[in-house]
Amino acid sequence: MNSIDANIVIWLNALSGNVKLFDDLIRVVASDYLMPMVFSLAMFGLWFSGKNPAERVRYQLTMLVGISALSISNVVVWLFNITWDRPRPFVEHGDQLNLLFYPPTDPSFPANPVAVGFATATAAWTINRKFGWWMFAAAAVYGCSRLYAGVFYPSDIIGGAIVGVAVYGFTSYLRRFLEPLITGFVRLIRGLSAA
C-alpha cells in the first residue's frame, strides 16, 4: 500500500518542471489562501442566497453546521496527527521529488486542507446538489494540487475527504443537541437584518 502511494506521488510529481505556467498555476491553487478563501466565500454567499424565508433559514442553518464541521474537522485531523506521525512524501522520497511548496512540518495523514474542503462541499451539496458537486470538484483539485506539489500521499487525500464528509454528518447530528441555541442565533442575526 505504501509503495503504491509513493509510486503515485512520485509519478505525478515527475510531471512537474515541464510546463512552468502549469507549475505556477498549481503553486497558486495549492497555496494556503486561494482554495480556503473559495470555501469560505461559498459559505458566505449561500447565507444570502435563499429565495424565500423558509429556504433562507434552511441555507443559514446548514451554513452554520458547515462552518462548525470545518472547525471540528481540524480537531479530528489533529487527533489523527498526534496518534500517527506519518512523514511527508518529500521526507521519505526527497531525492525523487521536486517540491513545489514549502516543506510543511506537521504529519501527512489525513490531509487537513482536503478535510476542510470536503466538509464545506458536503454542506453545500445538502442544499444545492449542482453547486455542491462543483465544491467537491474544487476540494478534489485542491487535494490533487498538493499531491502534485509533493506534500501529500494519495491516501492522505482520500483520508482527508472521508474525515470531511464524516465530520459533516456527525456535526449535522450534533446540531439537534444544540437546539434551540442555533435557531435562536439565526433569529438574532435576522433581528440585525443580516439573516
Partner 1 sequence: MNTDPDVVWELFAGHYFMFAFLASLGVLQVAVSNVGTRGLWLTPHAGMTRWLGIAFVLTGIAVFFLQPLWVDGPWAAGSVEADSLTRSWGKASWSELAGARNVNDIHGGLDGIKQAMWFSLGAIAAFAVSAVVGTLSVNIFASAENSGDGDQTDSEANGLAGLESRSYIENLPGSFANFRADIGGVWRSGLVKADRWSLMNVLLGRGGASE
Site of interaction with partner 1 (CB under 8 A): 20, 23-25, 27-28, 30-34, 36-37, 40-41, 44-53, 56, 71, 74, 100-105, 112, 116, 176-181, 183-184, 187-195
At 97, the amino acid letter reads L
In the bound state with partner 1, the residue whose beta carbon lies nearer, of 1 and 75, is 75
Q: How far is the CB of 93 from partner 1 (least distance, A)?
A: 18
User: Residue 108 and residue 89: Cα distance in Å, rounded?
Assistant: 8
Q: How far is the CB of 21 from partner 1 (least distance, A)?
A: 9
In the bound state with partner 1, the residue whose beta carbon lies nearer, of 4 and 184, is 184
In the bound state with partner 1, the residue whose beta carbon lies nearer, of 4 and 25, is 25
Q: How far is the CB of 112 from partner 1 (least distance, A)?
A: 8
Question: How far is residue 118 CA from its own chain's centroid?
Answer: 5
Q: How far is the CB of 37 from partner 1 (least distance, A)?
A: 6
In the bound state with partner 1, the residue whose beta carbon lies nearer, of 94 and 184, is 184
User: Residue 73 and residue 171: Cα distance in Å, rounded?
Assistant: 10
- Do residues 28 and 34 make contact, with C-beta atoms less than 8 angstroms apart? yes
Closest C-alpha among 6, 9, 1, 5 to residue 100: 9
Q: How far is the CB of 25 from partner 1 (least distance, A)?
A: 7
- Do residues 77 and 112 make contact, with C-beta atoms less than 8 angstroms apart? yes
Closest C-alpha among 163, 71, 53 to residue 61: 53
In the bound state with partner 1, the residue whose beta carbon lies nearer, of 3 and 176, is 176
- Do residues 86 and 109 make contact, with C-beta atoms less than 8 angstroms apart? yes
- Do residues 156 and 106 make contact, with C-beta atoms less than 8 angstroms apart? no
